[in-house]
Amino acid sequence: MIYFDVTKAGGAGHRSGLMRVSTRLAEELGGAAQAVRWPTWDRREVRPDDWFFTAELFSEEERPGFAALVENPPCRLAAVFHDAIPLKHPHLTWPQSVARHPGYLKLLARFDRVWAVSEASRDELVGFWRWQGLDRVPPVEVLALGADFTGRPRVTNRGLSGVGRPNLLCVGILEPRKNQAFLLDVCEDLWAEGRTFELHLVGRVNPHFGQPLAARIRALARTYPYLHYHEAVSDAAMAGLYATAWASVVPTRAEGCGLPLLESLWMGVPCICSDLPVLRENTAGGGCLPVALNDRAKWKEALLRVLGGDDLRPILTAQAAARALPTWAGAAATVRGALQG
């Protein structure tokens, strides 16, 4: 039996990347896994050869008694590891996440197997354990996360004419790490130069960091009506935004995997993104235009090219439709095969 941890995902009201991983894996695992929550998980019938599997973040402070379970588990333990961003970029991360992460990474070392969401995140985790001098650590493999966020068929016949005014779509929580402030700088330059295009920002506001950015968006929208902010949208509404987008933009400063890039490609929409090593793992297949992080001139040039300056957008769109993309069914099959094999 696979006991699947939904302690946070079961009651989450937002669609963060972490929640996406938990909910889509649970959906695709289906009857192969039984949902459990801490601390109400009834472990009386758990057998030593069963598995407890989690894609969530955890700590002893958030889950009293959980460390004791990890040290003396009733069954085997498996987990999905997302990233070490709270340790690498503490100035961009919620303080509670920064405080939790070292203990979380040490608890992960007591698991029987771990999947990282990218090669880059795998290297971060293994490097942390090596730095800590831990003598017992589990094997860490890479789990390719799914691009099919809606569960709908992939878009492979997208038209090139666009619908209405050219528009861009940026998906992600409003916070410094996602770097929407830089994107606004670039777009404001282009709007001031007379360029006409829409920018749609989608994502909840980070309660610790995001309010100044939300205020700037409101102020800027009064000057430039081409700017639109959507705090919370359903998956169906998100699919509608992708249907009219000429390209997605991911100016992020740090990622564990970069699900918005994959999801954009699934919807047949090319992606302009920061040229980060972790994103290069998914840009090499085509449909993407990596741009140097925070290089304002190069980002302006990239946006202009995709918005109609040359023939780049048709090329990227064709690449997005033709390339191979991972699915959540595939990710669940990897997990199921490893834990039930």
176 and 289 housed in the same domain: yes
6 and 57 housed in the same domain: yes
Q: What is the largest CA-CA distance in the chain?
A: 67
Residue 157 lies in a domain: no
The answer to whether 200 and 230 have CB atoms below 8 angstroms apart is yes
Residue 52 lies in a domain: yes
pLDDT at 16: 76
Least Cα distance to 298 among 272, 327, 265 occurs for 272
Q: Which residue type sits at 317?
A: T
Rounded Cα–Cα distance for residues 340 and 231 (Å)? 40
The answer to whether 3 and 52 have CB atoms below 8 angstroms apart is yes
Strand order in the sheet with 76-81: 33-36, 2-5, 51-54, 76-81, 113-116, 140-142
Question: What are the b/e assignments for 49-88, b being 16+ CB within 10 Å?
Answer: ebbbbbbbbbbeebbeebbebbeebbbbbbbbbbbbbbee
31 and 123 housed in the same domain: yes
23 and 45 housed in the same domain: yes
87 and 218 housed in the same domain: no
Neighbours of 196 (CB within 10 A): 11
Rounded Cα–Cα distance for residues 150 and 160 (Å)? 22
Residue 155 lies in a domain: no
Residue 61 lies in a domain: yes
- The domain in which residue 120 lies consists of 2-146+327-340
125 and 185 housed in the same domain: no
Total domains in the chain come to 2
Residue 158 lies in a domain: no
Residues paired with residue 199 on neighbouring β-strands, in sequence order: 168, 227
139 and 191 housed in the same domain: no
Residue 239 lies in a domain: yes
pLDDT tens across the length of the chain (341 residues): 999 999 987 555 556 778 899 999 999 999 999 999 999 999 999 999 999 999 999 999 999 999 999 999 999 999 999 999 999 999 988 888 899 999 999 999 999 999 999 999 999 999 999 999 998 999 999 999 999 988 789 999 876 655 568 999 999 999 999 999 999 999 999 999 999 999 999 999 999 899 999 999 999 999 999 999 999 888 889 999 999 999 999 999 999 999 999 999 999 999 999 999 999 999 999 999 999 999 999 999 999 999 986 789 999 999 999 999 999 999 999 999 999 97
93 and 236 housed in the same domain: no
Residue 159 lies in a domain: no
287 and 336 housed in the same domain: no
35 and 180 housed in the same domain: no
Rounded Cα–Cα distance for residues 234 and 13 (Å)? 11
> CATH number, domain at 200?
3.40.50.2000
Three-state secondary structure call for residue 249: strand
13 and 134 housed in the same domain: yes
178 and 314 housed in the same domain: yes
Report the run of H or E that residue 85 belongs to, with start and end: helix 85-88
Residue 205 lies in a domain: yes
pLDDT at 310: 77
